[in-house]
């Protein structure tokens, strides 16, 4: 794929993460402030909160989208940093394959977890 195409996807993924991770951080870490404003709930990482979210279609879908976008954005960013250090050609090839396969493996694992818990009774 053309390098400029990968860069455009990096930016698109960044915008997607900006929205979804913004929501995620408000729910997980600004929970007490949201409760004070009357729109959030306490203890977002307790088992009951976690499983209640995991069983909603909205969260299942956005978890998978955020997982894919964040993996692409993060690994492409690290690839950029590594390539800037003037790697030999073989090194660039290794990084490409390692990141593509590693990212795909993490995406498959995370997606499996999100779907398995959403569909379990």
Q: Which residues contact 69 (CB under 8 A, 6 or more apart)?
A: 13, 16, 17, 20
Smallest gap from Cβ 80 to other proteins, in A, equals: 9
Helix 57-84 crosses helix 89-119 at what angle (to 10 degrees)?
A: 170
**Residues 21-40: x where in contact with other proteins by CB under 8 A, - otherwise, as a string:** xx--x---xxxxx-xx----
Interface residue list for other proteins (CB under 8 A): 11, 14-15, 17-18, 21-22, 25, 29-33, 35-36, 42-43, 45-48, 50-51, 54, 67, 70-71, 74-75, 77-78, 81, 84-86, 89, 106, 109-110, 113, 116-117
């Amino acid at each position: 794929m053309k390098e400029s195409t990968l860069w455009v996807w990096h930016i698109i993924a960044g915008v997607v993460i900006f929205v979804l991770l913004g929501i995620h951080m408000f729910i997980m870490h600004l929970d007490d402030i949201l409760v004070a404003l009357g729109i959030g709930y306490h203890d977002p990482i307790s088992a009951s909160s976690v499983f209640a979210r995991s069983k909603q279609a909205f969260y299942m879908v956005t978890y998978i989208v955020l997982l894919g976008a964040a993996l692409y954005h993060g690994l492409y960013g690290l690839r950029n940093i590594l390539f800037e250090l003037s790697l030999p050609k073989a090194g660039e090839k290794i990084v490409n394959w390692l990141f593509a396969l590693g990212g795909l493996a993490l995406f498959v694992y995370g997606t499996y977890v999100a779907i398995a818990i959403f569909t379990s009774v």
